[in-house]
């Protein structure tokens, strides 16, 4: 291995160390209490070293949230072989809910916290590609459903947004402990039950 290749590998390894440390601190402390200083302390480098890789903390959290979307979409790949688009749509919802409830902090970073999108807003060349790709996947599946006669009279983008926001709302209420208003013996199942109730409504459209 040449000098240039070795330096490039070392650079990539340090970047991964930074992201691993940032994720560890984020999961323990949250976005607000994670700083460049304590990330640097954890990997035993100076804060200045981190700035060679990331402009600020928001860019670090943007990179972490990209990893979350990669994990989510990797789980979605398994449903591509489902031939029936409505069943694929329902499977997508179940995977989304399971991912959110199993990874509440990462879901928070992906869909609720402002830090990643603050980075997007300050970087004019960027768009929120991760969110757009997820929404397009939902829309393309819904379009197949409509082509097979489901959801007649509905508009594709508006219905896609309704489906996304409904499922997002259910998991967000659970993650943020707003489901405590539900009967105590249903709190562990209410999101799953709510999702199935929503599917029953979709079946009738």
Distance (Å, rounded) from C-alpha 20 to C-alpha 68? 13
pLDDT score recorded for residue 126: 67
pLDDT band, very low/low/confident/very high, at 124 (cuts 50, 70, 90): low
pLDDT band, very low/low/confident/very high, at 179 (cuts 50, 70, 90): confident
pLDDT score recorded for residue 115: 84
Do the Cβ atoms of 62 and 115 come closer than 8 Å? Answer: yes
Q: Show the 3-state SS of the chain.
A: CCHHHHHHHHHHHHHHHHHHHHHHHHHHHCCCCCCHHHHHHHHCCCHHHHCCCCCCHHHHHHHHHHHHHHHHHHHHHHHCCCCCHHHHHHHHHHHHHHHHHHCHHHHHHHHCCCHHHHHHHHCCCCCCHHHHHHHHHHHHHHHHHHHCCCCCCCCHHHHHHHHHHHHHHHHHHHHCCHHHHCCHHHCCCHHHHHHHHHHHHHHCC
What's the mean per-residue pLDDT of the chain? 90
Domain boundaries, the chain: 1-54, 57-203
Q: What is the mean pLDDT of residues 10-16?
A: 87
pLDDT score recorded for residue 4: 61
* Integer CA distances (angstroms), 128 to 28, 48, 172, in order: 26, 28, 20
Distance (Å, rounded) from C-alpha 148 to C-alpha 99? 29
pLDDT score recorded for residue 2: 65
For the segment(s) 1-54, the CATH number from 3.40.50.11540, 3.30.70.1020, 1.10.3720.10, 1.10.10.60 is 1.10.10.60
pLDDT at 160 > cutoff 90 = yes
Tell me if 1-54 shares its fold with 57-203: no
Asked if the 57-203 domain carries CATH number 1.10.357.20, the reply is no
Distance (Å, rounded) from C-alpha 191 to C-alpha 205? 21
């Amino acid at each position: 291995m040449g000098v240039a290749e070795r330096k490039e590998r070392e650079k990539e390894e340090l970047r991964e160390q930074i992201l691993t440390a940032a994720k560890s601190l984020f999961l323990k402390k949250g976005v607000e209490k994670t700083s460049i200083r304590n990330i640097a302390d954890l990997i035993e480098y100076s804060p200045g070293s981190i700035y060679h890789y990331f402009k600020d903390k928001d860019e670090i959290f943007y990179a972490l949230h990209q990893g979350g979307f990669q994990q989510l979409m990797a789980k979605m790949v398994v449903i591509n072989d489902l031939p029936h688009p409505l069943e694929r749509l329902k499977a997508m919802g179940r995977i989304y809910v399971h991912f959110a409830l199993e990874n509440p902090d990462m879901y928070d970073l992906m869909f609720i916290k402002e830090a990643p999108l603050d980075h997007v807003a300050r970087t004019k060349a960027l768009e929120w590609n991760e969110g757009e790709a997820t929404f397009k996947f939902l829309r393309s599946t819904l379009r197949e459903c409509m082509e097979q006669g489901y959801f007649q009279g509905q508009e594709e983008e508006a219905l896609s947004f309704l489906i996304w926001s409904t499922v997002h709302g259910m998991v967000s209420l659970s993650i943020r402990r707003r489901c405590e208003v539900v009967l105590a013996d249903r709190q562990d199942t209410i999101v799953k039950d709510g999702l199935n109730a929503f599917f029953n409504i979709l079946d009738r459209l």
